Each structure stands twice: as structure tokens, then as C-alpha cells.
Structure 1
Amino acid sequence: MEEVDEIWHAGDIGSFDVIGWFPEGKIHRIITGNIDDHSIRERFPEELVFEVGGLRVLMLHIGGNPARYAKGVKARIREVKAGLFVCGHSHICRVEYDRGLECLYMNPGAIGMQGFHQVRTMLKFSIIEGKPTDLRVIELGKKRMPSSN
């Protein structure tokens, strides 16, 4: 894995094994998703609001997208004054600037083998002077289908 300062996970952890793959010594920002069981929900929150590099970030698993946010998301983005909104759930990689909210929307897609996505994706970016920069979509290959033996 390339060097990074922080690892963010936008929910649907599925198993504590996933967290075990994260390198130690890094900041981990992790929220739960709708597939996560009680033990995972006890350890990680449903939402995170934090600031990094001068940028206010809101993370929620079910967020919709700028064309159609999930119920209450638009109000929450405004309430916390987020400049970056990160969500998961759809497993579809998408990045879009919402001019109305003055907020960058990011869904990294999914790196796992479950869900409707065909290609496993994640996002890598820097935050400099309160702005996300150097954004890259990293494709991790096609999802392997389980064998039917």
C-alpha cells in the first residue's frame, strides 16, 4: 500500500478482519454501514465530523448523491459546515462538487467482494490549505466471483 497519513472507511466494514489489514501507526477514521453487525456498531460510530488540514469533513454511510441526497443529509452538511462529504453505501465511485452546498461529494466505491459493483475502487487525495487536491481513483481490479464448487 502506498504511503498515506490517514485511512478513511465509509462503512460496510463487514468483519473486524478488514480493520486488521490497515497499517498501524496511521489515523483511521471509520464509520459503520448498514451491513455491519452489533459488535462493529459498538466500536465505530455511524457518523464522523472532523477537521483535517483546515477542511471540515462529514462522513456518513448512506448519503445518496448531489442529485438526490438521502433524507436529512443536505441539512446535516449545512449544519456542520462541511467542505467535504464522504459516504459509501452505493459502492459506486463518484466525486462531484455541489455548488449549492459549496461541498465536495466523494463516494470511494468499494474494495470488497460483496455488492453490485464490478470494479473495486478507492480514492486517494491530499488536503492542502483546506482543499482536497491530487485526487486519484485507484482501481483494484474486478471483483472476484466466489467459486460454485
Structure 2
Amino acid sequence: MRYLKIGIISDTHITKHCENINKIIDRYFKDVDMIIHVGDFDSMDVVNNIKKKKKFVGVFGNNDSSAVKQYLKEKDIISIEGYKIGMFHGHGEKKNAMDRAYDQFKDSKVDIIIFGHSHQPIIKTKNKILMLNPGSPSRKLKERWYSYIILELEKKKIQARIVFFNNK
């Protein structure tokens, strides 16, 4: 049975050396069908580099340039393999990034919510919705490792796993 393999990233925060995103894609996402990036690219060059290599969808984050904000939406819902997926960076006031992302889609009947902002990788469910935060593949902040998520979608099966790595 065919499934769709999706690489999920967030919070790349690449302002100089935008080609560094290509190294991440070439090393970790060679065999994915598409890449979802949920904000804080920081530069439109990062978006363009991803688009040159893979099918791409994404939303902007609070640190993104005006060019990125003009090109991408702040939040979006896409359908893949029959699943409704909400995407939102997770920025805002009050609560934490996961709760803010959840609040954006709680009335939208989504199956999965992908968010970022905290740089902390998470896979959990909240009120029957799969909540995914890939952490960051390039700016880990307080985390020990860099990270991303591989999401595999089939009609009746979802697999999501966090991949941790050391950027050496």
C-alpha cells in the first residue's frame, strides 16, 4: 500500500547562508514526498531553496521577513490522504505554543495540528487531535539535540516519529 512520507520542520531561523537548508534536505529528507515547514524561516531564500528541492507547504512564524509573510499564510489547513492537517507556528500571547496552535483549529475538525515556535519536539494527542512539533533542525535553543519529524500517512494508519541528531 502506498503511503505519503512527509518531512516536517520548523524554526530553521536561517538568515545567512540560506543554502544550509539544502544540506538538511539532502541529508535527512532525500526520500520524502514533501516538506512541511511551520514558520520562522527568517528569509524568503530558505522558502525558495526548499521549493526547488521538494514539494512544499508551510506557514509563516513571528520572526519571518515581510516577504515570507506576504507569500505564506499565518495558518492553513491542508488535506493529505484524507486527513485534515492544520498548520500554525504557535506564536502569540498567553498559554503555550501547543495550546495556542490547538486553539487556532479546535472548531475546524482537523485530525493533525503541526506547530513550532517552542523549538521543543512533541508528539502527543490533545482531545483526539495529533499534535506535532518538530523542534528545530538548525537552532535547538535549550534542547540537547536538533530534531525533525517524519510523518507517514496511509488511509488507515499514521506513523509519526521524531528524529534527533547532532549537527556535527
TM category, shorter: 0.7 to 0.9
Within the candidate set 112, 137, 144, 1:84 is matched to: 112
The separation in 1 between residues aligned to 2:116 and 2:102, in whole angstroms, is 16
After TM superposition, where is structure 1 displaced by more than 6 Å over at least 4 residues in a row? Answer: none
Q: Which structure dedicates a bigger proportion of its chain to strand?
A: 1
Does residue 50 (structure 1) correspond to residue 83 (structure 2)? The answer is no
Q: Choose between structure 1 and 2 for higher RCO, CA contacts under 8 A separated by at least 6 residues.
A: 2
Bigger-Rg structure (1/2): 1
Letter in 2 for 1:24: K
Which residue pairs with 2:165 in the alignment?
A: 140
Letter in 1 for 2:132: M
The residue correspondences of 1:6-21 to structure 2 (distance < 5 A) are 6-21=34-49
CA contact (8 A) 1:109 1:120 kept: yes
The separation in 1 between residues aligned to 2:53 and 2:42, in whole angstroms, is 22
The separation in 1 between residues aligned to 2:140 and 2:125, in whole angstroms, is 28
The number of residues matched between the two structures is 135
Helix, strand or coil for the counterpart of 2:106? helix
Provide structure 2 residue ranges, at least 5 long, that are not aligned to the other structure: 1-28, 92-96
Which residue pairs with 1:128 in the alignment?
A: 154
Using the size of structure 1 for normalisation, the TM-score is: 0.79
| Offset from partner CA, 1:24-45 (integer Å, 9 cap, x none) | 3632111100111211101111
Using the size of structure 2 for normalisation, the TM-score is: 0.71
Provide structure 1 residue ranges, at least 5 long, that are not aligned to the other structure: 145-149
